[in-house]
Amino acid sequence: MADIQSTTAAAPLIIRRSDYRPPDWLVPEITLDFDLDAAATRVHATLSVVRNGGQDRPLRLDGDGLLPLEVKVDGRALGPDEWALDGGALVIALPGQAHVVETRVELAPEGNSKLMGLYASSGLLCTQCEAEGFRRITFFPDRPDVLSRYTVRMEADKARYPVLLANGDPVGQGDLPGGRHWARWNDPFPKPCYLFALVAGDLACNADRFVTMSGQEVALGIWVKKADLPRTAHAMKALKDSMAWDERVYGREYDLDVFNIVAVADFNFGAMENKGLNIFNSRYILADPETATDLDYDGVEGVVAHEYFHNWSGNRITCRDWFQLSLKEGFTVFRDQSFSADMGSRAVKRIEDVRILRAAQFQEDSGPLAHPVRPESYMEISNFYTATIYNKGAELIRMMALMLGPERFRASTDLYFERHDGEAATCEDFVRAMEDGGGVDLAQFRLWYEQAGTPRVRALLNHDADAGTAELVLEQTVPPTPGQPDKKPMAIPLRVALFDPQSGQHRGDQLLMLTEAKQAFTFTGFAQPPVLSINRGFSAPVIVESNRSQADLAFLSARDDDPFARYEAMQQLMVNVLVGSIGGQPVDEAAVVAAIRHTATDPQLDPAFVAEAIRLPSEAYLGDQMAVVDPDAIHAAREALQRRIGEALEPLWRDIHAGTKANAFSLSPAAKGARKLRNIALHYLVASGAQDGPEIAFGQFHEADNMTERQAALATLANGASDAREAALDIFYNRYRDDALTLDKWFQTQAFAFHPDTVQLVAELREHKDFTLTNPNRVRSLFGAFAGNQWAFHDKSGKGYRLVADCIIALDKINPQTAARLVPPLGRWRRFDEGRAAMMRAELERILTEPDLSRDVTEQAGKSLE
């Protein structure tokens, strides 16, 4: 096996969207027979293949690390000169139009540390095929536009693997001699191989049922380790809510008799939408008050919904090729965001989603890895499961939904589902359905799929007192990105309102379409200069720069009736003060304090909204506002303002903290909002420097009946150097040392901490007996969190860079996909001073000199240096 892997590691190849060609051979049917075993699994595949189009090319079946033990065509075993291996792929010249091809291979799931293909995870056997994992299981045309009907038979030791699951419906099972058993599953829906899945193991089931809108009964199962069963209730509720929501909002009904979800501990990302058998990272299934924060609960709900919604946006209609990935991911993120908004607070959900977009996607869009929502080329497709494809992709759908309005948007999605059901479609197909169903012209809008980079919109509002008019001048620029030096103006939908500062009212929300580089809009009937509220609801994923004064922003932070715009005004007020003070300008901190006081004492506001609005912008977001990021100055300025807010409003923080103490845990929006507000009050109280701050935090840590308050108290303590810090970390460790998901929080909290010794602490935690590179969640909770801690990661010693680079190098040998995800923070070197930039580059260069570096890391590190 080892030899094969090394011979298949071909030179980095660039795949281009413009090279797309329909498949040479189709595979309408496949039968898979698995003889499962952790050390040696045998796979017998029978493919019915049909020549596609008038060409005479041989059959080429992708493979990665596979050696054929037998190859048969139409029942006859081929000799060794009748097939060839080419870059891992099996090539067979076939004479006719249709044949039956059989292959046998052997796999070692327990040695599969990449977690792609068939692998072992704490006693289970499971699969991950998207994007190109199926070729690690059997020889097959591993591309999403080859759709097949699957029949799967599994055979395994019954004691070790009592449960055998695959896609579709179960159609048979039975016992075999020698303590073995078998099961057969049939999936009636033709699907691409990236949606194939099987699971074998000792699993317990939370079983439930759902009756669809046409009266079909669906058996639902959430399969976990027996001890985890009590932690599956929230996921089951989320699943049933999602099924009902997709019927109500999109008219989409589930289509099989069973729907199963399995939680596994070792998983490269969030979850996977395999047809009828979703496989999840256990962190997005398991939740109870003792171990899950409110954020974790929301994560479970959102990801369960996301994977379920893929059944239509992804499975019934899949992608023609991987350049179309956002067709399913952008749309499905938009769908899960809308669902979560309906289940909780719409305003807070939008604020959270924009915060994620800005933190992840705007950063990506302004760096060396920037790419369009529909990329033109890639080296390793796993590197393109990005915030741009997912989150910016969702914003594109959201803009189209806004421009169409709810009825026409629904008509367009109906058309899309009807027109392309059962097909492998393109982003262009989606946009055309929006045009045809909505009766709009999206010619210019298509640039959003083609052009990378976050557009900047300058908004200047001029008032003419004599004419009684206000003129809004909008100017847009789209920055150059790799491979795209010059950009065309985009079609940018901006929701705008003009407020009369006297009455505090506006005359209605308007949707302005900015389509030119520069455009002016005139509004009449304004004797007094109005106050501009722009990009309300974050109607377009752009950066807005305006000439609004601090007084205007304070006004909007108190009066804007669009909750996102109100939040945004407050954030901008804070950004101006922080960036001003970093630049050594005189700033009015009192205005921030006053605005926070006003918001925090407004009885009309939802506490969850208040908590969002009064929170200071992150250090990373402040860095994004600067020409050259100065992590130390940002940290110092933010800490100082935090302390000032803490001191100035200390009685208020004490009041809120005492007044939000709940009696018993509940997941009601009110209870969640109260916890969110309580935690930020605690944070400001401790930031004030009050003598009893650490004691109060420790009290909350100790008394909390839920993880939301316990972890927030721990995080607050972890920033400082009190005795309570060490005590709380020890207690937390001892309480959760045997619970991997919760122990992740212990690592993560320390890696995120604003503690002067964080770099050293992370270096020590890397050596901790509970740290391992083989579990992606554990790696992310230490190194992913650390790389997101701007102040610590960018420590001017450069030690933070070395720590992360060392991790990338070591992890690349185990799990390249997860290693590659740690590269982008190092790739942002152009944003920093020369000293830091040189050290970051040096680490990237060091990574690239490693022998046998994966394609995943090669692409990310190489592009980062270009």
The residues assigned a catalytic role are 307
Rounded to a whole number of angstroms, the minimum distance from the CB of residue 195 to Zn ion is 12
Between 382 and 789, CB nearer to ligand ARG: 382
Both structure tokens of 189? 């829906």
Binder of residue 724, out of ligand ARG, Zn ion, none (CB less than 5 to 8 A by kind):
none
Question: Helix 406-420 and helix 427-438: axis angle, to 10°?
Answer: 130
Rounded to a whole number of angstroms, the minimum distance from the CB of residue 279 to Zn ion is 13
Is 272 a residue that touches ligand ARG (CB under 6 A)?
yes
Buried b (16+ CB within 10 A) or exposed e, 504-514: eebeeeeebeb
Contact between 75 and 48 under an 8 Å Cβ cutoff? The reply is no
Is 203 a residue that touches ligand ARG (CB under 6 A)?
no
**Nearest residue to ligand ARG, by Cβ distance, number only:** 385
Between 132 and 435, CB nearer to ligand ARG: 132
Both structure tokens of 89? 């792929």
Between 319 and 696, CB nearer to ligand ARG: 319
Is 273 a residue that touches ligand ARG (CB under 6 A)?
yes
Is 269 a residue that touches ligand ARG (CB under 6 A)?
yes
Among 393, 422, 721, 395, CA closest to 539: 395
Between 315 and 332, CB nearer to Zn ion: 332
Is 284 a residue that touches ligand ARG (CB under 6 A)?
no
DSSP H helical ranges for 506-630: 550-559, 563-582, 589-600, 607-613, 619-624
Q: Stretches 264-272, 423-431, 569-577, 656-664: which one binds ligand ARG (CB under 6 A)?
A: 264-272
Binder of residue 271, out of Zn ion, ligand ARG, none (CB less than 5 to 8 A by kind):
ligand ARG
Rounded to a whole number of angstroms, the minimum distance from the CB of residue 331 to ligand ARG is 11
CA angle 840, 841, 843 (to 5 degrees): 65
Binder of residue 385, out of Zn ion, ligand ARG, none (CB less than 5 to 8 A by kind):
ligand ARG
Rounded to a whole number of angstroms, the minimum distance from the CB of residue 310 to Zn ion is 6
Among 35, 32, 278, CA closest to 178: 35
Between 131 and 354, CB nearer to Zn ion: 131
Binder of residue 591, out of Zn ion, ligand ARG, none (CB less than 5 to 8 A by kind):
none
User: Which residues, 332 to 391, sit near Zn ion by CB under 5 A?
Assistant: 332
Tell me the per-residue interface mask from 307 to 336 with ligand ARG, x by CB under 6 A, - otherwise. Answer: x---------------------x-------
Contact between 864 and 823 under an 8 Å Cβ cutoff? The reply is yes
Both structure tokens of 313? 């946006």
At 418 the three-state DSSP class reads: helix
Burial of 267 (0-12, 13-18, 19+ CB in 10 A): buried
Q: For the sheet containing 258-264, what is the strand order?
A: 204-211, 217-224, 258-264, 277-281, 271-272
Between 37 and 298, CB nearer to ligand ARG: 298
CB atoms within 10 A of CB 738: 9
Binder of residue 269, out of ligand ARG, Zn ion, none (CB less than 5 to 8 A by kind):
ligand ARG
User: Which residues, 322 to 341, sit near Zn ion by CB under 5 A?
Assistant: 329, 332
Q: Stretches 101-109, 269-277, 425-433, 537-545: which one binds ligand ARG (CB under 6 A)?
A: 269-277
Contact between 291 and 736 under an 8 Å Cβ cutoff? The reply is yes
Both structure tokens of 454? 């976050």
User: Which residues, 498 to 557, sit near ligand ARG by CB under 6 A?
Assistant: none
Rounded to a whole number of angstroms, the minimum distance from the CB of residue 798 to Zn ion is 37
Rounded to a whole number of angstroms, the minimum distance from the CB of residue 63 to Zn ion is 26
The amino acid present at 575, given as its one-letter code, is: V
Which residues make Cβ contacts (< 8 Å) with residue 655, sequence separation at least 6? none
Q: Rounded to an integer, what distance in angstroms lies between the CA atom of residue 700 and that of residue 218?
A: 44
CB atoms within 10 A of CB 414: 15
Cis peptide before 131 (omega within 30 of 0): yes
Q: Rounded to an integer, what distance in angstroms lies between the CA atom of residue 103 and that of residue 88?
A: 14
Between 380 and 612, CB nearer to ligand ARG: 380
Between 315 and 581, CB nearer to ligand ARG: 315
Q: Stretches 65-73, 270-278, 778-786, 827-835: which one binds ligand ARG (CB under 6 A)?
A: 270-278
Q: How many residues bind ligand ARG (CB under 6 A)?
A: 11
User: Which residues, 394 to 423, sit near Zn ion by CB under 5 A?
Assistant: none
Is 369 a residue that touches ligand ARG (CB under 6 A)?
no
Q: Which helix (H) or strand (E) holds 163?
A: strand 163-166
Q: Which helix (H) or strand (E) holds 809?
A: helix 799-812
Between 329 and 856, CB nearer to Zn ion: 329
Q: What does the DSSP 8-state code read for residue 625?
A: T
Rounded to a whole number of angstroms, the minimum distance from the CB of residue 363 to ligand ARG is 19
Rounded to a whole number of angstroms, the minimum distance from the CB of residue 133 to ligand ARG is 8
Residue 386 half-sphere exposure toward CB, CA atoms < 13 A: 30
Phi/psi for 362 (5° steps) reads: -60, -35
Is 382 a residue that touches ligand ARG (CB under 6 A)?
yes
Both structure tokens of 543? 């950066």
Among 284, 385, 736, 793, contact with ligand ARG (rule: CB under 6 A): 385
Among 38, 147, 256, 271, contact with ligand ARG (rule: CB under 6 A): 271
Among 474, 479, 453, CA closest to 462: 474
Binder of residue 296, out of ligand ARG, Zn ion, none (CB less than 5 to 8 A by kind):
none
Which residues make Cβ contacts (< 8 Å) with residue 842, sequence separation at least 6? none
Contact between 285 and 344 under an 8 Å Cβ cutoff? The reply is no
Rounded to a whole number of angstroms, the minimum distance from the CB of residue 132 to ligand ARG is 8
Q: How many residues bind Zn ion (CB under 5 A)?
A: 2
Is 131 a residue that touches ligand ARG (CB under 6 A)?
yes
Between 391 and 679, CB nearer to Zn ion: 391
Binder of residue 272, out of Zn ion, ligand ARG, none (CB less than 5 to 8 A by kind):
ligand ARG
Rounded to a whole number of angstroms, the minimum distance from the CB of residue 326 to ligand ARG is 11
Contact between 358 and 616 under an 8 Å Cβ cutoff? The reply is no
Rounded to a whole number of angstroms, the minimum distance from the CB of residue 822 to Zn ion is 21
Between 191 and 863, CB nearer to Zn ion: 191
Rounded to a whole number of angstroms, the minimum distance from the CB of residue 131 to Zn ion is 12
At 391 the three-state DSSP class reads: helix
Contact between 68 and 103 under an 8 Å Cβ cutoff? The reply is yes
At 315 the three-state DSSP class reads: coil
Binder of residue 336, out of Zn ion, ligand ARG, none (CB less than 5 to 8 A by kind):
none
CB atoms within 10 A of CB 479: 17
Q: Rounded to an integer, what distance in angstroms lies between the CA atom of residue 238 and that of residue 230?
A: 15
Is 130 a residue that touches ligand ARG (CB under 6 A)?
yes
Q: Rounded to an integer, what distance in angstroms lies between the CA atom of residue 769 and that of residue 748?
A: 16
Binder of residue 245, out of Zn ion, ligand ARG, none (CB less than 5 to 8 A by kind):
none
Q: Rounded to an integer, what distance in angstroms lies between the CA atom of residue 25 and that of residue 23?
A: 5
Between 332 and 535, CB nearer to Zn ion: 332
Binder of residue 536, out of Zn ion, ligand ARG, none (CB less than 5 to 8 A by kind):
none
Between 73 and 327, CB nearer to Zn ion: 327
Q: Tokens 């027996």 identify what position? A: 226
User: Which residues, 547 to 586, sit near ligand ARG by CB under 6 A?
Assistant: none
Q: Rg of the Cα trace of the chain?
A: 28
Rounded to a whole number of angstroms, the minimum distance from the CB of residue 47 to ligand ARG is 24
The amino acid present at 194, given as its one-letter code, is: Y
Q: Stretches 267-275, 466-474, 564-572, 619-627: which one binds ligand ARG (CB under 6 A)?
A: 267-275
Where along the sequence are the contacts to ligand ARG (CB under 6 A)? 130-131, 269, 271-273, 306-307, 329, 382, 385
Where along the sequence are the contacts to Zn ion (CB under 5 A)? 329, 332
